[in-house]
Amino acid sequence: MRCPTLSELPSPPRGRSGWPWTEESPELAHLMPDGSPWPRISVVTPSYNQAKFIEMTIRSVLLQGYPDLEYIVIDGGSTDGSVEIIRKYEKWLAYWVSEPDRGQSHAINKGFEKATGEIYTWLNSDDYLLKDALGHVAVAYRRSPDAGAWCGGCVRVEPNGKKVWVRWPKRLDAEGVADWNQNSFGQPACFFSKEAWERCGPLDEELHYGMDLDLWLKMAKAVAIERVDKELAAEHAHDEAKTEADRGRMYATQFLLQFRHGYEQFAVEDITRWMNDYLEYRRRVERMYRFPLVRRIVAPLARTVLEKLHVL
């Protein structure tokens, strides 16, 4: 399906402006610059009770101006108004469903079972693509036919839309990916070929966290992963996000996967470093508590800040 234009989509909610509400990506030519057809890109969005974000996600995919998009939405039976939002855009969806599932990994696997594209990605319903992302990925795909995956910059944004930072992929070889705390990259800005998915998928449905890291560890051993020097996607920083809500389980899963894939040295290094940081923190707190003013005022305030930052 050729992406719809801004004028074809439903009007944005009142007060919404900018990308992807009142702005769109330029419409790409029917054929690539070399005269070949654009590769079909299949995007799967898993979602459950994300009415606050999902419309932005959907519009960011549909307004790519891309000539051959296949967009699939797998909703887990939402009850917060998400289904009504999805229905507004269903004429531009290749497939969608709202029914109970076994979690995010299961939803993504269900979506890729329906996919027919040459390039795959999933985009969570609290993330969104940036302008021209699909075009940049397609060009990278044609330029590096021996690669099996492509990763670009992923922007972290606050709820008000302010840009916090950009995560760029650094080392994309197997050891680089395994050293995740030093070389992590943003999943929303990552794409892979159908062949890579068939070799390395599906996602492990037993994993509530880290299913993307598990897949990337498999892919880094099986195919070449190329960097795309473009910002491709953005992820919202919000308290309800899984990675914000339960960092302890997220890190525990990361260490488990590093051991599972034979890279236990990176897990041991990270655990040792964090233990040393924690012990140093305890020593500093003990020194602070020697002063009466700190005990009464400063220490409780510092603890509140550290808990908010998920340091404690």
Domain-located, residue 247: no
Model confidence band, residue 218 (pLDDT cutoffs 50, 70, 90)? very high
Model confidence band, residue 270 (pLDDT cutoffs 50, 70, 90)? confident
Domain-located, residue 26: yes
Structure confidence at residue 198 (pLDDT): 98
Q: Where residue 17 sits, what CATH number does that domain have? A: 3.90.550.10
- The count of domains in the chain is 2
Model confidence band, residue 286 (pLDDT cutoffs 50, 70, 90)? confident
Tell me: do 225 and 274 sit in the same domain. no
Tell me: do 96 and 207 sit in the same domain. yes
Tell me: do 57 and 184 sit in the same domain. yes
Q: What is the mean pLDDT of the chain?
A: 92
Please report which residue ranges of the chain form alpha helices under DSSP H. Answer: 54-62, 82-88, 104-114, 133-143, 174-178, 180-183, 194-200, 211-222, 242-245, 247-260, 264-288, 292-293, 299-308
Tell me: do 60 and 155 sit in the same domain. yes
Tell me: do 148 and 276 sit in the same domain. no
What is the C-alpha separation between 101 and 78, in angstroms, rounded? Answer: 11
> For residues 140 and 228, is the Cβ–Cβ distance under 8 A?
yes
> What pTM value is reported for the model?
0.88
Identify the CA nearest to 80 among candidates 55, 108, 52: 52
Identify the CA nearest to 110 among candidates 151, 221, 100: 100
What integer is the mean pLDDT of 150-178? Answer: 94
Is the pLDDT reported for residue 304 higher than 80? no
Identify the CA nearest to 126 among candidates 243, 248, 246, 254: 243
Domain-located, residue 115: yes
What is the C-alpha separation between 52 and 178, in angstroms, rounded? Answer: 33
Model confidence pLDDT, tens digit, residues 226-252: 999 999 999 998 666 555 557 789 999
DSSP string computed for 152-175: EEEEEE-TT--EEEEE-----SHH
Last residue within a domain, chosen from 206, 239, 272: 239
Structure confidence at residue 306 (pLDDT): 63
Amino acid 121 reads T
Tell me: do 196 and 270 sit in the same domain. no
Q: 287 versus 153: which is more confidently predicted?
A: 153
Model confidence pLDDT, tens digit, residues 21-37: 999 999 999 999 999 99
Tell me: do 193 and 303 sit in the same domain. no
Tell me: do 281 and 144 sit in the same domain. no
Domain-located, residue 256: no
Model confidence band, residue 291 (pLDDT cutoffs 50, 70, 90)? low
Query: 214: which 2 tokens?
Result: 């598990």
Tell me: do 186 and 91 sit in the same domain. yes
Tell me: do 61 and 165 sit in the same domain. yes
Domain range for 297 is 264-308
What integer is the mean pLDDT of 189-218? Answer: 97
